[in-house]
Structure 1
Amino acid sequence: MRDAFGDIIAAQELEVPPVLLRFHAQPPERSHGMVKVEGGGRWARLLAGLAGFPPPMAETRFRLDVTPQGNGHVWRRSFRKFLTRSHLRYDPQKGRAVERFGLVELDLAVSVQQGAMVVSVEKARLFGLPLPQALCPQSASTEFETPEGHLGFDISASLPRIGLLVRYSGYLVLPELNLRR
């Protein structure tokens, strides 16, 4: 079952690197890799922690579990002992992915630039109520294929007047395909 980004790639006929196409066409239940986490100032770290994001840390092991649930997938990101959970689904009427982190829901648009998939926050809601653009999180997030053939990522979120909340970058080594299913 494709994830929300796989649905967008298919619907918009986006040309993405093979590793992204494979991952989003049928996300593996568990992937492992490495990640480095950066954070902003004291208020930014507090808000990031409330949203479930980990504190800054040097390069460390990373695990991503993707599980189908309802009309989407639950994404569990493990940064050492820290767990960030979200629910990601595709909204075909908007042509966007919708990701929920607790009480915050984000509408995400996808494009391709220089061979990388770029994900940007278009709208945000808190408790189901739309946030004004001045309070809407901003994202500079990309997924790409590394020279080693892994799924590389550079994910960040910031808020106006507060700055960087969290940035995590690294890669996932995708499990081998089981072609004998």
Structure 2
Amino acid sequence: MRDAFGEIIAAQQLEVPPALLRFHGQPPVRSQGLVTVEGGSRWARLLAGLAGFPPPMPRTRFRLEVAPQGGGHIWQRIFGKYRTRSHLRFDPGKGRAVERFGPIELELTATAQQGALVVSVEKARLFGLPLPAALCPQSAAMEYETPEGHLGFDISASLPRIGLLVRYSGYLVLPELDLRR
């Protein structure tokens, strides 16, 4: 079952590298790799922590667990001993991905640019209420295929007037395909 970004890639016929097609076409239940986490000011780190993101940390082990649930997928990111959980689904009416982190819901678009999948936040809600643009998180997020064939990522979120909340970058080694499915 494709994830939300797999649905966007298919609907828009985006040209993305094979590792991204493979990952989003049928997300592996578990994958692992390495990640580095950066944070902003003390206030920014506090806000990022409330959304479930870890504090800054040097290169550390990273796991991603993806499980189908409720017309979408639960994404559990494990940064060393810290866990961040979200629910990601595709909204076919809007052609967007919708990701929920606790009380925060983001509408995301994706485009293909120079061999990468670039994801942007278009709208945000807090407890179901739309946030004005001045309070909407901004994202500089992309996924790409590394020279080793891994799924590389560079994800960041910031807020106007506060700055960088969190940035995490690294890669996931994709498990071998199970061709018996």
Question: Aligning the two structures, in what range does the TM-score lie when normalised by the shorter sequence?
Answer: over 0.9
Partner of 1:23: 23
The within-5 A match list for 1:116-155 is 116-155=116-155
- How far 1:180 moved relative to its partner? 2.8
What is the CA–CA distance in structure 1 between the aligned matches of 2:17 and 2:50, rounded to whole Å?
34
What is the CA–CA distance in structure 2 between the aligned matches of 1:113 and 1:57, rounded to whole Å?
29
SS in 2 for 1:47: helix
Structure 1 regions of 5+ residues with no counterpart? none
Give the structure-2-normalised TM-score.
Answer: 0.99
- The count of residues paired between Structure 1 and Structure 2 equals 181
Partner of 1:63: 63
Structure 2 regions of 5+ residues with no counterpart? none
What is the CA–CA distance in structure 1 between the aligned matches of 2:129 and 2:178, rounded to whole Å?
43
Partner of 1:156: 156
Return the letter of the residue paired with 2:26: Q
What is the CA–CA distance in structure 2 between the aligned matches of 1:178 and 1:17, rounded to whole Å?
20
Task: Using the aligned pairs only, state the percent identity.
Answer: 81
Partner of 2:82: 82
Give the structure-1-normalised TM-score.
Answer: 0.99
Partner of 1:51: 51
Q: CA RMSD in A?
A: 0.5
What is the CA–CA distance in structure 2 between the aligned matches of 1:36 and 1:123, rounded to whole Å?
27
Return the letter of the residue paired with 1:80: G
Partner of 1:112: 112
- How far 1:61 moved relative to its partner? 0.4
What is the CA–CA distance in structure 2 between the aligned matches of 1:77 and 1:155, rounded to whole Å?
12
